[in-house]
Structure 1
C-alpha cells in the first residue's frame, strides 16, 4: 500500500485490499472511500467485500465509483458530501490514486484556492496542473 497525504483530512492510494484495513486502522484512518467501479479489473475486490472489511475494523466506508475521465456533478457532490460527513482522516483509493486525487480536487475547488489544491496534489506526486482552469472556474461558479 502506497499512501500519499493530500491534507491532514485526506490521503489517497492505489487499490486497497480487504486484508489491509487493519493497517489503515492502525495508521489512524477513520474512513475509506472507494473510487473504483466494481468489475473494473478481474483481480479487484468488490465494493461489498471492501465495505465488510472496513466495517470489521471500525472504519466508515463509502463507494463513490468514478469511470476514468468522467467527473460529473453527481460524483463531485458525492465526494463533497462524503468529506463533510465521514470521520476524518479519510483514505480514498482507486487504481492508481489519480482519480481519487482529481475527485478530491474538484470538490475542494468549490471553496478552496485552485493553486493550493494543485500544489497539494503535486506534493503527493499527482500532477493535476492541467485541471487548474476547471478548478478556478468551479470556485467562481
Structure 2
C-alpha cells in the first residue's frame, strides 16, 4: 500500500492574479480550470512532481457564507499557513520572483538548520518560501 499527497489548497483573493504569480513567477503550469457556482478551482503543477497539484480558489468557493467570511478574514490578516517550495537554484528563482513585483519578505540566506531560503508574499498575502537543500 502506498500514499502520496495529491492536492494542496491555497486560498487566494483573485484566481487570475494568482495564476500569474504561481504560473508566471514560479513556473508552475495550469493543469485544470473548473468553474462552478460563480467560482473557479484552478490546479497548477510542476513537471518535477507530476502527481502533486496546487489548487487555487477564493475563500467562499465551495463553502458556506460564514466559513468563507472566516477564511477571508484569516487571509486578510496573513495568518494562513505558509507554503514552502523547493528549488535547485534559490538565488536565480528569487530574482525571477522579485522581478515579477512580488513583495519580498526575506532575501536568500543560509539558515542555521540547513537550507538556503527566501520568502515572498503572493498577491493575496500568503507567505511563500523557497528553499534549496544545502550543498553536500
So what's the TM-score if we normalise by structure 1?
0.33
The one of the two structures with greater contact order (alpha-carbon pairs below 8 A, sep at least 6) is: 1
**Largest Rg, 1 or 2:** 2
Greater share of strand: 2
So what's the TM-score if we normalise by structure 2?
0.34
Greater share of helix: 1
